[in-house]
Amino acid sequence: MQTCESRSFSEPVTELQASAEEVASVAKSSESDKEVFAEFAVLLEKFTPILIELKENDQLMDRPPVRKAVESLEKELTRSKEFIKSTDSISSAKQTKDMTQDLGRSLGLVLFASIDVSPEVKEKVAALHKELINAKFNTSLNTSPCPSANPSPRPSQESWFMSELDSEREIEEESITLSIEDVVLKLKHGNDEEFRVALWGLRDFIKNQTIDKEWINDGVIPILFNRLGSIKPHSRLTIIQILRILASVNNENKEKMADVGSLSLLVKSLIREVDERREAVGLLLELSEISAVRRRIGRIQGCIVMLVAMLNGDDPTACHDAGKLLIALSSNIQNALHMAEAGYFKPLVHYLKEGSDMSKILMATAISRIELTDQSRASLGEDGAIEPLVKLFKAGKLEAKLSALNALQNLSMLTEKHTASNQFRHVVPLLQLLFSVTSVLMTLREPASAILARIAQSESILVNQDVSADALSFKSVQSGNSVSPLTSTQ
């Protein structure tokens, strides 16, 4: 399957257009809350002309932040369709309002990232963005005979909506009058409202390329990170989006974001609202191109745990970026160990297969010491941990043999419903090799005996012919030896 990055920009936008039209159709045909979903369908139909214009400007729009925003929109449309199909409540106006605002926020990401697109297109995107964010759904209205008719808002609703529009216009108009010096001053010392205005002005300066490198490196980037820790959530999201745009410009900007303090602030955003953590992990991924950043991120408390949680989450964009960032961080062996402790074992298995002798011993020792659940044991087996542990036991020196056997002992403690008999088929030959040597050391006998005991307790050994044959073969080997693997530790 092609990734979004490997396709032309028009392809995901075309798919997005089809999704919007499909969800609108589903909304129109819904038997639940017809008035609400009819209004929702009207809003969705307004996506089509805008998306067509975005495709026509694909050369200007084809940038990573815009692609991420398109992915976010696609995800919200999918959620909307699932919600409409599953709704059986008497009134879903509140949920539909929240759903519409989520679409508006995702469209706002497109608007914010569309630096080079024409003002006409931006104006159309902005208009729909505001309409989605400020959408209200009135269930008391009579059902319209034509579902595609646009219901008129109530006077109070219309007044509130116009007030919001006026507020946005005032902010934008005020930001136009600001000089670069004014923007930097308000970014540094302004209250929440002044800071918001300054962000608009900064975005325009970046778009028009009228702010020089010195202002960005020595003024803007440090100030934005300084405010990131204390500003309101909406402004935090905007700050991170601006930082992502700046990071995409050149490596010099990335270097200015690479200190431990700045990275720690971004890591804190990994546990916040979904849009903020999605942008934060995306920025961390971009910064991880710098080797010093990879070293520092792994040392920030809780970072790897949060990344593993995002990898297992339901946000496809955040999951993708978290996975790539974890791969980048796994070049450090200590990070790979932390990932294993958090339940992500692929880097550990990679070191088991291809690492140095010492790293293989470290990984095997980690498996033996981590408190594994049945699910994590099964994951390690599926990821291929058994085979390299067997090889480590067969070919390694005493320390390697002991660490491999202890790891295999921990892995052998699966409950019956998770037991994979093919894992035992690897273990039994090890025991044959081990107990055919009469002078084997106590340190190796103990974990080997424990492994055999677990195998003997498993019903799989009775119903699987291959495992049973191996066990019988092992028994025949032991019949000539004085050592009993199940009862003796001498």
- The dihedral through the CA atoms of 177, 180, 186, 187 has a sign that is positive
Domain end position, chosen among 137, 157, 181: 137
What range does the domain containing 486 cover? 368-490
- pLDDT over 60 at 131, yes or no: yes
User: How far is the C-alpha of 79 from the C-alpha of 81, rounded, in Å?
Assistant: 5
Residue 416 resides in a domain = yes
The pLDDT confidence band at residue 328, using thresholds 50, 70 and 90, is very high
- The number of beta carbons lying within 10 Å of the beta carbon of residue 305 is 17
The pLDDT, as a whole number, for residue 113 is: 66
Domain count, the chain: 2
Greatest mean pLDDT range, 120-129, 226-235, 306-315? 306-315
Residue with the bigger pLDDT between 321 and 460: it is 321
- C-beta separation of 249 from 288 below 8 A: no
Residue 476 resides in a domain = yes
Residue 125 resides in a domain = yes
The pLDDT, as a whole number, for residue 485 is: 38
The pLDDT, as a whole number, for residue 442 is: 58
The pLDDT, as a whole number, for residue 31 is: 77
The pLDDT confidence band at residue 210, using thresholds 50, 70 and 90, is low
CA 275 remoteness from chain centre: 11
The pLDDT, as a whole number, for residue 398 is: 80
CA 281 remoteness from chain centre: 7
Mean pLDDT of the chain: 75
Share of residues in the chain with pLDDT > 90 (%): 20
The pLDDT confidence band at residue 203, using thresholds 50, 70 and 90, is confident
Nearest in space to 331 (alpha carbons), one of 358, 350, 308? 350
Residue 82 resides in a domain = yes
Q: Could you read off the pLDDT of 379-395 as tens digits, one per residue?
A: 888 888 888 988 888 77
User: How far is the C-alpha of 142 from the C-alpha of 139, rounded, in Å?
Assistant: 8
Residue 56 resides in a domain = yes
The pLDDT, as a whole number, for residue 156 is: 39
- Mean pLDDT of the 32-42 span: 82
Q: What angle do CA 329, 331, 334 make, to 5 degrees?
A: 80
- pLDDT over 50 at 363, yes or no: yes
The pLDDT confidence band at residue 16, using thresholds 50, 70 and 90, is confident
- pLDDT over 90 at 100, yes or no: no
The pLDDT confidence band at residue 432, using thresholds 50, 70 and 90, is low
The pLDDT, as a whole number, for residue 220 is: 84
The CA-atom distances, in angstroms, between 134 and each of 110, 158, 159 are: 17, 10, 11
Residue 215 resides in a domain = no
Q: Phi-psi bin for 371: left (phi > 0), alpha (psi -120 to 50), beta?
A: beta
The pLDDT, as a whole number, for residue 105 is: 79
Residue 179 resides in a domain = no
Domain end position, chosen among 100, 118, 137: 137
Q: Could you read off the pLDDT of 135-189 as tens digits, one per residue?
A: 877 654 333 333 333 333 333 333 433 344 444 444 444 445 567 777 778 888 8
Residue 419 resides in a domain = yes
Q: Could you read off the pLDDT of 400-429 as tens digits, one per residue?
A: 888 888 888 888 775 444 444 445 555 555
Residue 45 is encoded by which pair of tokens?
A: 């139909």
**Which letter, b or e, does each residue of 218-234 get, where b requires 16 or more Cβ atoms within 10 Å of its Cβ?**
ebbbbbbbebbeebeee
Domain end position, chosen among 81, 107, 137: 137
The pLDDT, as a whole number, for residue 155 is: 35
- Mean pLDDT of the 234-261 span: 88
User: How far is the C-alpha of 432 from the C-alpha of 474, rounded, in Å?
Assistant: 5
